């Protein structure tokens, strides 16, 4: 059982709320009071007075801002076994992201590609011994995610067969469930992923820029390559195109094709 014992009102409120949201059995006592016999984990603030604890009790000191990380650490203690946090990512224009603690899924998201790295970093910052596993499909988006992740161990995973069959009522869940499967697969440790975009991939980026352009003009190939490399978003490439950095002759020729 998890016990919260703190004089810090903000920490108390955040910890109790987080534990209730997770459906966890817990109790609270005043600092210094005798702990229940079934206590496995004690959560306190860093400056709460704590006496000598039984050897079987894990003591976690935290703050209101870091309470989620403390709760995940406490749950890992209760589950036993491997406490590593693995973040699986199914890349695409809206990547699926699944956070696993051991074998249990503790969080899941699907966000626009532009928000994916921030979401992954946020989960890694809150995690115990984090590892990110990124699927190798959707080559350009996968490379962008891998290259933008720093100071977090990353594995590139063969995602063949990770997208499950979706029955009735499960529409829209495929990318997140694929991310769960990716998180369970060992991959190759990488620091970066260099991808040379194909002509077809560049054309898709150009077509997307034309769709988003008020003038119905596409960006040129050099800007499309920078978008493919993750250096620019389509919106930023269009702005650079409008301010004179693009080859208008090429964009007009694209429009006529």
pLDDT digits (tens, 9 = 90+) for 192-217: 888 788 888 889 889 988 998 888 88
| pTM score, whole prediction | 0.67
User: What's the pLDDT score for residue 82?
Assistant: 62
Q: Pull the structure tokens for residue 168.
A: 């009735």
User: What's the pLDDT score for residue 128?
Assistant: 67
User: What's the pLDDT score for residue 256?
Assistant: 47
Residues lower than pLDDT 50 in the chain: 246-253, 255-256
User: What's the pLDDT score for residue 253?
Assistant: 45
Q: What is the pLDDT of residues 106-140, one digit of tens each?
A: 889 999 998 999 999 998 987 767 999 999 988 88
Residue 139 near residue 117 (C-beta atoms within 8 A) = no
């Amino acid at each position: 059982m998890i016990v919260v014992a703190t004089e810090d009102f903000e920490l108390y409120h955040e910890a109790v709320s987080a534990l209730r949201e997770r459906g966890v059995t817990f109790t609270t006592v005043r600092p210094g009071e005798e702990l229940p016999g079934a206590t496995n984990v004690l959560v306190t603030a860093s400056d709460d007075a704590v006496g000598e604890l039984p050897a079987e009790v894990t003591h976690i000191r935290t703050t209101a801002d870091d309470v989620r990380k403390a709760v995940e650490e406490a749950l890992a203690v209760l589950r036993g076994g491997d406490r590593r946090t693995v973040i699986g990512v199914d890349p695409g224009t809206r990547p699926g992201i699944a956070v696993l603690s051991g074998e249990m899924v503790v969080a899941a998201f699907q966000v626009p590609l532009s928000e994916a790295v921030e979401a992954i970093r946020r989960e890694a910052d809150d995690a115990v011994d984090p590892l990110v596993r990124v699927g190798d499909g959707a080559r350009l988006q996968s490379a962008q995610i891998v290259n933008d992740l720093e100071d977090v161990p990353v594995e590139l995973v063969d995602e063949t067969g990770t997208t499950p069959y979706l029955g009735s009522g499960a529409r829209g869940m495929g990318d997140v469930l694929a991310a769960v499967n990716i998180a369970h697969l060992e991959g190759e440790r990488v620091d970066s992923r260099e991808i040379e975009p194909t002509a077809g991939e560049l054309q898709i980026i150009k077509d997307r820029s034309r769709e988003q352009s008020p003038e119905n003009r596409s960006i040129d190939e050099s800007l499309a390559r920078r978008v493919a490399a993750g250096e620019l978003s389509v919106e930023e490439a269009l702005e650079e195109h409008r301010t004179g950095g693009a080859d208008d002759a090429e964009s007009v020729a694209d429009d006529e094709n």
